[in-house]
Amino acid sequence: EQVWVPCPTCLVDDFDRAKERIAGTTTVTPDGQLQTLVFALKNACDGATMQVGIFNMASLGFVLLAVAALSLYQRRMQIKFDIQAQTAQDYSIEVFNPPADATEPEEWKEFFETRFGGHVTCCTVTKNNDLLVRALAERREILAIIEEKVKEGSLVNTLSLSELAARIENRRHCFGNIKSRISPGIPELVGRLTVLNTKIQGLAQQQYNATRVFCTFETEASQRKVLQEMT
The helix (H) or strand (E) run that includes residue 95 is strand 92-95
The helix (H) or strand (E) run that includes residue 73 is helix 50-84
- Look up residue 17 and give its amino acid: R
Residue 34, helix vs strand vs coil:
strand
- Of 117, 90, 88, 120, nearest to 107 by C-alpha is 120
Distance CA 13, CA 19 (A): 9
* Beta-bridge mates of residue 216: 92, 122
* Beta-bridge mates of residue 210: 127
pLDDT per residue as tens, the chain (231 positions): 788 888 888 888 888 888 888 888 888 777 777 778 888 888 777 666 788 788 889 999 999 999 999 999 999 888 777 767 677 888 899 999 999 999 999 999 999 999 998 899 999 999 999 999 999 999 999 988 888 888 765 666 777 788 878 887 777 777 766 776 777 788 888 889 999 999 999 999 999 999 999 999 998 889 989 998 887
Q: At what angle do helices 186-204 and 130-149 cross, to 10 degrees?
A: 150
pLDDT digits (tens, 9 = 90+) for 41-77: 887 776 667 887 888 899 999 999 999 999 999 998 8
pTM, entire model? 0.51
